[in-house]
Structures are given as C-alpha cells and as structure tokens.
Structure 1
C-alpha cells in the first residue's frame, strides 16, 4: 500500500480501490435546559443597545435642560429690562426672536425623540412577545467542535472510561492533532477516572444540571440512556477526521472483489 498515480497504461493492468476510516466521537450529556429568564424584560435588546438608549436619553435631557434654562433666562432679562429701560419695545422684539429660535430647537428635538421611541417600542414589543411565546433553550452539545470548546473553557467536564481505546487515543495523541490533543489535555487536568460506566458515571449524569459529558461507544450510550437514565439525556455524534487508505493489485487478482466490498 502506498501513494500511486494513475495513467492510461496502468489502468489496463492495475485495479485501484480505497476505503475510508471515520474517526467518530459519540458523547452523552444532559438535554439542554431552559435559558435563564430572570432578566427577561431586558432580553429583547442587546446590552450595547440599552447602553446607547440610556446614553442618548441622558444627552438629550441635558440639551433640553440647557435650552429651557436659556429661554427662562432670556424671559427674566427681558421683563427686567422693560421695567428698567425706556427701550423696552426694541428689546422685547429681540427677546421674542431668541425665544422663537430656542423653542423651534426644542420642537425638533422632541419630534426626533418621539419618532425614535415609536420605532423602538414597536421593535421591543414584537421581540418581547416572541420570547414569551417561544421559550429559548441552551444549545445542545452536538458536534466535535462543541467538545473542543468545552475542553478549552472548562464549562463542563469530559469523562472517558480509563484505559479504553478512546482514552488512549486522546491522552496519548500527537500535538499536531489539535482536537485530540486538547481533549486529552482536558482529561489529564480534570483528574476524573471512570472504570465502570454504569456505577460511576450514570449517578453523576442523573443529578440536576450535571456538568459532565461522557465519551464512549454509541451503542453503549444508547443502551444506558434507555435503561438507566432518570433525566432527559442527549447523544451527540460527529466525525473528528478522515483517513483514506488505498491499495493496488493486479486486475485479475482474486482479492479485488473482497477488498472492494469492505
């Protein structure tokens, strides 16, 4: 078995076949639960949008306060000037111009704010209604990348039966295989050893909000989930890698048909 290139002349003599080895990984965890609804009132908008709304409200309030204070100040000065000076008529005209300009600015600011509030309130109402109607659940652990992320951030604990084929494959993997190596590193750091699946792991998986994820054979996981699980458990399955193996032999060889059927 080796790398082999095809030419037209070789096709007449040599038969080439290949089969694929799938490195599957199967894992069992608790079914995803309902997301926290403590602050459900704030969930329709993101955190940054809430910060923007609060900051805009504070800025507009400051601007409106400054404009209103200027109008009151102009009014006080105009009344005092009318009482004290002979040129009250001319001064009153200038004061009216100032008041008219300031009040136009206030109307524009109020109009923009009310229009923005109308859009935000409609968007908030529709999002909040959808959240109340359709409950949100945590994402399930379904792919190999989910297992890889768990091994990085340690939000859950991965467990593999000690001395099993999967355990050796992860713990003694080459650093060049990033996913295998990181999972093996996580297994060594957790220092949790499981020798018998049923007696040691199923009780841990049946507790509320179990932080454990077990990696084992799919048939074994299915049997234990059906017979011994007292809570809703979720099985995920994914392929970590593909290994291609090819072989060449004489076209009339009796081994061609058996190898092609593998």
Structure 2
C-alpha cells in the first residue's frame, strides 16, 4: 500500500520496497495526417529570417533616393516575385548594384526553395501517432475527456482533501461528470471500453498501467495505448500491519534482502509482454500516394489568398471611379 500520513497514524508499515510515480494512460487513435505539414519543413525562425531578408532587400532598393521612382518600385516588386517563384523581367535601365542585389536574393531563394521542397516530400510520407495527454493540465483543458482514478485509494483521498492547485481542479471535475473512480478489478474492463476510445484517461501508478497494457497486448497482439512521459505524485509503497506487530521488524530484514537481489522489481514486472509497448513510435513512414487528406491545408491557404486578392481587386475597382469624380 502507498505510504501517507493518515495511514501511518492508523497502522504500522514495513520499510519501503518501491517508489513510483503516477502517470496517464490513453488510447491511440491511429495514424493521422497533419494537413498543415507543408509549414513544418521550415521552423518559425527560418520563416521570420526569410521575411526579414525580404524586407532588408526592399529597404535597400527603396532608400536610395537618386534612383527614379518608377524603376525603384518595379525593382522592389521583382523581389517579391522572386520569393513567390514567379518570372522576373530585367529592365535595361537597372543599375549594376540593383542586378547584384537581385542576383544574391535569387540565389538565397533558390537554396531555400530546394531545401523546402526536399523536406516537404519527405514529410508527406510521414504519419504521426497523436499522444495528446502528457500532463494533468492537458486532460483538464480538454472538455470532452474524463479521468478515471483508483477507487478507495490514497490518490482519491488526496484529491478529495486538497484545497487548491491543479488537483483541486481535478476534484472539481466530478461535478461535471468528468471524474470517475474505479476499482482495480474494473481496470481491464474500463481500459477496453472507455480508455480505448480516447474519451477517458486512466490515471494510476506507472507499474499498474504498464501491466494493464501488457495484458491487453497479450490479448490483442498490438499496442493500443500509450503512457504519458511526465510523472507526478511520487509515492512510496510498503507492507502494512498493526502498529504493535513484532513481525514488522522481521519483514524489514527480508524486504531489504529481496530489494538488494532485485527480486521485488522482478516480481512486479513479471508480466508477459511487459516491455512490448514501452517505446511506441510517434511517427511512422508510409509509402502510400498523396491524397487530398494530406494536402487540403495547401488548398485552404490558396483559396484564402484568392479570396483576399479578389477583395483587393474589388476595392480597387470601387475606389478608382470615386477618385476620378
């Protein structure tokens, strides 16, 4: 049993034989495609540096006052066309330094575009395995997911007695119907019917969750669940008896020997397929062809650009007659 203050006042316990953290288990919903994956080949810093370089080029082309206005505006717009992979016309009246700036800018965009295209093709062949719930805050912020904790445990006792903090928020979920308490005997059924669908998250000691996943793997032959990376509520486990029981001292010696020999850890992890689902990959490489579900984000971005362009065009058509009058 877990050691806590209330239990120590009521009974006696042996020396600690295990220390464990509480973690979260949730169902894997299968491989998914990120429709906005075309933005991932470049980090936010690279996007910012690219736009900053474009502004720097535009600044150079527009700050020299001795150039004619028409030539300057035409040269500035060509820099944007280069970034958008459009054709560029080289007017004969351009100065040599103007051609040099555009040449360097074109080389920069060429390297950027080739790197982007290569990484994008690799990225489209990758599917990611969503594992959204890594902390209690992740579950709390998801309004459609409920928590399952062990019934009549030290965890339930702590949740019901805490006055503030994140665990107070967990306790408040019971009013919303998002907090449930199940016994360990109900865990396998809860795992198969509730947690597997992804709308419930089971919270318990990591050793118990790994054993449940191992049992499920033995039955189904696949890994359908994942355990959160972050652990919380570290706790100590020991054997319990009456406070005045003289056998506690004898148990302490034997527990020490068993711990030194590693037998307690061996017994706790002696479950078939205990480590089969420990390292579930977050990403998987597939060889399927590109479909609309892979790249619909590109068409959304394209449609948004077309709508914005039409809006600007309509505004120009409306404003021009007004200026003439």
**TM-score category, normalised to shorter length:** 0.5 to 0.7
1:166-220 deviation per Cα after TM superposition (whole angstroms, max 9, x unaligned) = 66235224347x565454344554544465556666333344xx23212254345
Following superposition, the deviation at residue 103 of structure 1 comes to 0.5
Indicate yes or no: 2:191 matched with 1:204: no
Q: Which of 124, 148, 168 is the matching residue for 2:136?
A: 148
| Between 112-121 and 162-171, the greater mean CA deviation after superposition | 162-171
Q: Which residue of 2 aligns with 1:50?
A: 47
Cα distance change of structure 1 residues 185 and 20 upon mapping to structure 2, 3 Å threshold: farther
Q: How far, CA to CA, are the matches of 1:184 and 1:23 in structure 2? A: 22
Q: Which residue of 2 aligns with 1:10?
A: none
Q: Which of 205, 215, 220 is the matching residue for 2:203?
A: 215
Report the 3-state secondary structure (helix = DSSP H, G, I; strand = E; otherwise coil) of the residue aligned with 2:194: helix
Following superposition, the deviation at residue 229 of structure 1 comes to 9.9
Following superposition, the deviation at residue 44 of structure 1 comes to 0.7
Q: How far, CA to CA, are the matches of 1:164 and 1:230 in structure 2? A: 31
Cα distance change of structure 1 residues 231 and 137 upon mapping to structure 2, 3 Å threshold: closer
Q: How far, CA to CA, are the matches of 1:23 and 1:181 in structure 2? A: 22
Q: How far, CA to CA, are the matches of 1:199 and 1:258 in structure 2? A: 35
Q: Which residue of 2 aligns with 1:240?
A: 233
1:11-44 deviation per Cα after TM superposition (whole angstroms, max 9, x unaligned) = xxxxxx9535524425431126445431332221
Q: How far, CA to CA, are the matches of 1:229 and 1:156 in structure 2? A: 29
Cα distance change of structure 1 residues 167 and 225 upon mapping to structure 2, 3 Å threshold: farther
Matches within 5 A, 1:1-262: 19=16, 22-31=19-28, 33-47=30-44, 49-50=46-47, 53-54=50-51, 56-57=53-54, 60=57, 70=68, 103-139=95-131, 141=133, 146-154=134-142, 157-160=145-148, 163-165=151-153, 168-175=156-163, 180-193=167-180, 197=187, 202-207=192-197, 210-216=198-204, 217-218=208-209, 219-220=211-212, 222-223=214-215, 226-227=218-219, 232-235=224-227, 238=231, 240-243=233-236, 258-262=251-255
Cα distance change of structure 1 residues 188 and 149 upon mapping to structure 2, 3 Å threshold: same
Normalising by structure 2, we get a TM-score of 0.46
Unaligned 5+ segments in structure 1 are 1-16, 74-98, 246-252
Cα distance change of structure 1 residues 256 and 224 upon mapping to structure 2, 3 Å threshold: same
Q: Which residue of 1 aligns with 2:318?
A: none
- Report if the CA contact (8 A) 2:135-2:228 is conserved: no
Q: How far, CA to CA, are the matches of 2:37 and 2:248 in structure 1? A: 66
Cα distance change of structure 1 residues 46 and 19 upon mapping to structure 2, 3 Å threshold: same
Cα distance change of structure 1 residues 189 and 226 upon mapping to structure 2, 3 Å threshold: farther
Identify the structure with bigger relative contact order (alpha carbons < 8 Å, sequence gap 6+): 1
RMSD after superposition: 4.7
Q: How far, CA to CA, are the matches of 1:205 and 1:19 in structure 2? A: 31
| Structure index of larger Rg | 1
Paired residues, number: 207
Q: How far, CA to CA, are the matches of 1:224 and 1:63 in structure 2? A: 65
Q: How far, CA to CA, are the matches of 1:34 and 1:21 in structure 2? A: 36
Following superposition, the deviation at residue 119 of structure 1 comes to 3.0
